Amino acid sequence: MHSDSVAPPASTWVQVGTPAYRRISLALFLAGFATFSLLYCVQPVLPELAGYFSLGAAGSSLALSVTTGCLAVAIFVAGALSEGRDQRRLMFASMALAALCNVLAAVAPTWGALLAARALEGLLLGGVPAVAMAYLSNHIHPRGLGFSMGLYIGGTAFGGMAGRIGMSALADHFGWRVALATMGVLGLVAAVGFVLLLPRASRPGAPAVRRALGLRYHLGAWRAHLQTPGLPLLFASGFALMGVFVSLFNYAGFRLALPPYGLSQTQIGLVFSVYLFGMVASPMAGGLADRLGRAPVLVGGVVLMSAGVLLTLVAPLAGVMAGIAVLTFGFFVAHAVASGWVGRLALQSKGHASSLYLLAYYLGSSLLGSAGGWFWEHGRWPALVVFSLALLAGALWLALRLRGMADAAKG
């Protein structure tokens, strides 16, 4: 099997500290911000969408689920399709057109039209995360790759948080349509900033490195990863963990808008500030995994998520918030370890392994996020907690199996 890349001469890398390095890093931060603010901006207004279009909780969750479902498929194929193409132009087109879809969703006259716009948005957004990490790996010198990659991931986390909080505040004062359109305009501004900052050809030879690889190669790479011991377990873990995380956040807004809490949209949006815990947890998890091993930290992340889910059953608002914070911290610990472990087990074609993990990850968001709505509608929060704990029990079993495999490999 071919390797993922061919090492270029050192003189062709973008070096740390150069103007090009700073421009690329900032441009990819904007890409991460735009992608994830557009993707998740509807989550805090799901109760408003349910009321406006006369839907149940599960029905309204489709505004997010169709987007993440289409994103999963798009990410899976976009990495392969981007080979040999202008990655800068592809990412800009994806961001700009997705932002326009968000504006179209804001003015959609029917629920079906809104879902169609959001589905197309998910397909378009797949062109960003699938290409961004490959672009950085192809252009940035290895000594500076960690920081620039971290800045991109920081942009995704910040975008996810800011999109949710900003959407809530705007919807509270101007309504969900104005809020959705505003997020689309901000995404378009970020796309313009991205394309103005990103150098046209910082390493012109990079996109053509694997131009000759065809469909047969890609299918072979994906098949090989599905047969690699441990990788399918990590893919399944990503599916379950993301499903729990999105389900709890999807329907927390419904719960907190009802008595005895009765929170406003702005107050509900502030719940998403717990993403700050995730921004701390991810690098911390990496350091712990280096010292203690990946399997114990993955197990710990799943256990923390379970404790957070149980804590949300506590009636006082402070208890609910504490539970959501613990859940968030545990999720980012587990996700950081699992996604990093995928790259370690995939000795070759790491991009293909990552695409399989991201496919499972976003399918978990789409399918399980909507399935959680059924439990909310039929048993409110306690039923949703049971659903989440069942998924986490499966994730814990997978983590323990991975730990056993790791121990066996050492022995």
Q: What would the pLDDT profile of 174-228 be if each residue is shown by its tens digit?
A: 999 999 999 999 999 999 999 999 887 544 444 444 444 577 877 887 888 888 8
Residue of 275 and 309 predicted with greater confidence: 309
Has residue 144 got a pLDDT over 80?
A: no
Residue 280: predicted pLDDT: 78
Token digits of residue 102:
């968000």
Mean pLDDT of 87-103: 92
- What is the per-residue pLDDT for 111? 97
pLDDT of residue 288: 79
Q: Helix, strand, or coil here: 264?
A: coil
Q: Is the pTM of this model over 0.85?
A: no
Cβ neighbourhood burial of 315 (10 Å; 0-12, 13-18, 19+): exposed
pLDDT band at residue 127 under the 50/70/90 scheme: confident
What's the pLDDT at 83? 56
pLDDT for the residue 285: 77
- Torsions phi, psi of 17, nearest 5? 90, -10
pLDDT of residue 79: 61
DSSP letter string over 61-96?
Answer: THHHHHHHHHHHHHHHHHHHHTTTS-HHHHHHHHHH
- Ranking 129-138, 331-340, 387-396 by mean pLDDT, the lowest is 129-138
Check residue 208 and give its pLDDT.
43
Please list the alpha-helical segments (H only) found in 82-175: 87-106, 111-125, 129-139, 142-174
CA dist 181 and 185 (Å) reads 6
Which of residues 81 and 254 earns the better pLDDT score?
Answer: 254
So what's the pLDDT on residue 355? 79
Cβ count within 10 A of residue 216:
8
| Residue 324 and residue 312 in contact, taking contact as beta carbons nearer than 8 Å | yes
Core vs surface per residue 336-364: b (16+ CB within 10 A) or e: bbbbbbbeebbeebbbbbbbbbbbbbbbb
State the pLDDT at residue 319. 92
pLDDT at 342 (0 to 100) = 79
Residue 299's pLDDT band (boundaries 50, 70, 90)? very high
Give mean pLDDT, residues 135-149: 68
- Return the minimum-mean-pLDDT range out of 18-27, 140-149, 258-267, 313-322: 140-149
Share of the chain above pLDDT 70, in %: 85
The total of other beta-carbon atoms located within 10 Å of residue 16's CB is: 16
More confident residue, 66 or 279: 66
**pLDDT confidence of residue 310:** 97
Model confidence at 6, pLDDT cuts 50, 70, 90, reads very low
Q: For residue 353, what pLDDT is reported?
A: 79
Identify the pLDDT of residue 350: 67
Whole-number average pLDDT of the chain: 84
Higher pLDDT, 389 or 156: 389
Determine the length of the chain.
411
Q: Lowest-pLDDT range, 115-124, 136-145, 314-323?
A: 136-145
- Could you give all domains of the chain from N- to C-terminal order, each with its CATH number? 18-204 (1.20.1250.20), 218-411 (1.20.1250.20)
pLDDT at 42: 93
Q: Measured between alpha carbons, how far is 350 from 267 in angstroms, rounded to an integer?
A: 41
Give the chain's count of helices (H) and strands (E): 17, 0
Please say if the pLDDT value at position 238 is more than 70. Answer: yes
Is residue 134's pLDDT more than 50?
Answer: yes
Please state which of the ranges 55-69, 136-150, 238-252, 341-355 shows the lowest mean pLDDT. 136-150
* pLDDT, position 274: 85
